[in-house]
Chains A and B, each alone.
Chain A
Amino acid sequence: MAVVTVVRWFDALARRLGRRWLDRVETVRQIGAFTLITLGVTVTKFGSAPQVVRPLIRQQIVRSGIRLLPTVAFIGVALGLLIIGQTLRLLHQVGQQELVGSLIVTVLVRELSPLSAALVVLARVGTPTVVELGTARALGEVEALEALGIDPIHYLVVPRVLGITVAVFALSVYLLVFALVSGWLVSVAANVALPLSSYMAQIAGALRWQDFPLLAGKSLAFGATGALIACYQGLARPLRLEEVPRAATRTVAESVVSFLVLDIAFLALQLLTFA
């Protein structure tokens, strides 16, 4: 009897886990299809209705980029202070100051700046995007757009995806600059004898040409992925108003997992191309 119970318990667990995995695979498939539709609309409607779509893209860049600049500046300064400042002091103590460039490039340029910028934008813009689009869908505004011959993907999704993607890229660069400058200032304050010229020379020496497309590619991919997931969760499935907050939570979870998966993919690419 006990064996039967255990077998049934395992059977129920396997079914539950199986269903969960199938649901996840289905979500990935649907987000992939949504991405392809958005890409198709972006290409086929490129240049159409510019007087409506371009201001919306600008509005998104302001909202996701320019307005978040103070937050990103703060995070950049904090990262510089915490990571570069401490690393410099530690390397100075063990007499390995020549490693500072490699460490900064590996930790900040390749990893933290695109990831931090994407997380800031996700938190500040991704969630409101789901709420806005989910509410628009729940109130039937999507059908209203269709009835007017306005493609909802073109009007609601494309400007958000383009705006957020550009914003994450720009914020990654700004975050990096703020972190580098504050890191050096902290080292000066901590009496680490590293002149600005040799600090910059070490970073320049550690940088490879591949780091530039890597930083651009990573930040653009993070921005586009977060924006697409937010738009998908808000728009692609019919929502009731009370389901909107849950969709926002799903967006954050799915975006963070996607960033990490993308990060691993970029790392693999990096190992292949940097070898």
Chain B
Amino acid sequence: MSAVPAIELREADIAKDPATTPILSGVSWKVRVGEFWVLTGAHGSGKSILLETMAGVRPCASGDLCWFGFPVTTRSLSSSEGAALRRRIGLVFEGGGRVFGELTVAGNLALPLSYHEGIAMEEAVKRTAPLRTALTLDRIADLPAGRIGRAWMQRVALGRALALGPEVLLLDNPVGGLDPRNAGWWRTFLQALSKGHPAAGGRPITLVLSSDDARLWDGAGCQFGEVRDRRWVPSPSAAGAGD
């Protein structure tokens, strides 16, 4: 296991906008390669903003964020090294994953690959076929992503993030609002990803996800953290995270 954390926050203040009052203060969190974290907390406690900050979509209000030891700032992300590093960190948004509604399901998965690899969309669609199959999206591959159900959109967003072969995957409440069957599918699939899924190249992926219900992830071999009273705190177990 690498000594350098995959993601590290040091005394970071997390805010929706750097000009506003931080939602979370002094977050110090090391996510090491191969770990599987579940983050819990009340609605509106700042879990989504925290994950988006860790993914580099929002800047830290203060403090430091590092990816594999590389300091992440708005400026450093625009460098070629920062841009290459960004591809190693995937983010799946909550509530339908913010899929591109005008593209087909297959197009959503192919777009990042086509953009970064410089290959035609048709070729990227072919290359992402195993991923579509693993996510059981073949049946709806040609439908516009804006017209499918929310549970399927969430899977499309997962596939889109996995298409670039990330080493770390951040998932914002992936099972929020899903029925038990779908939630079960996510638990099984993410556990497999954590250990190395063939559709993701067989390489274990470091996972950090937020969840409303920590109990769903009990026994899934994860570590728990909680957002409480404007602070991030590690929890010993799912039961502790839910308290």
Contacts and interface: CB of A to CB of B under 8 A. Distances in A.
Nearest to A154: B115
Interface string B136-157: 0000000000000000000001
A253 interface: no
Contacts of B100: 141, 144
Contacts of B120: 51
Contact of B57 (A139, A141, A147, A150): A147
A155 B115 contact: yes
B91 interface: yes
Given A49-B116, A51-B114, A144-B98, A149 B93 contact: no
Interface residues of B, number: 28
A109 B120 CA distance: 41
Interface residues of A, number: 17
Interface in A137-167: 139-141, 143-144, 146-150, 155
B98 A143 contact: yes
A140 B119 contact: no
A70 interface: no
Given A52-B111, A148-B112, A143 B57 contact: yes
Interface in B39-88: 52, 55-57, 83, 86-87
Nearest to A145: B100
A50 interface: yes
B114 A49 contact: yes
Interface in B6-33: none
Nearest to B111: A52
Contact of A143 (B90, B93, B121, B161): B93
Interface centre among B52, B99, B114, B115 (most CB of A within 10 A): B115
A149 B57 contact: no
Interface string A33-77: 000000000000000111110010000000000000000000000
A120 to B, nearest CB: 24
Interface string A201-233: 000000000000000000000000000000000
Contact of B115 (A139, A141, A150): A150
A149 B119 contact: no
Given A52-B111, A149-B87, 15 more contacts: A48-B118, A49-B118, A50-B118, A140-B93, A143-B93, A143-B98, A144-B99, A144-B100, A147-B57, A147-B161, A148-B115, A148-B160, A149-B86, A149-B112, A149-B115
Interface of A: 48-52, 55, 139-141, 143-144, 146-150, 155
24 contacts: A48-B118, A49-B114, A49-B115, A49-B116, A49-B118, A51-B114, A51-B119, A51-B120, A52-B114, A55-B121, A143-B57, A144-B93, A144-B100, A146-B56, A147-B55, A147-B57, A147-B93, A148-B115, A149-B87, A149-B112, A149-B115, A149-B164, A150-B112, A150-B115
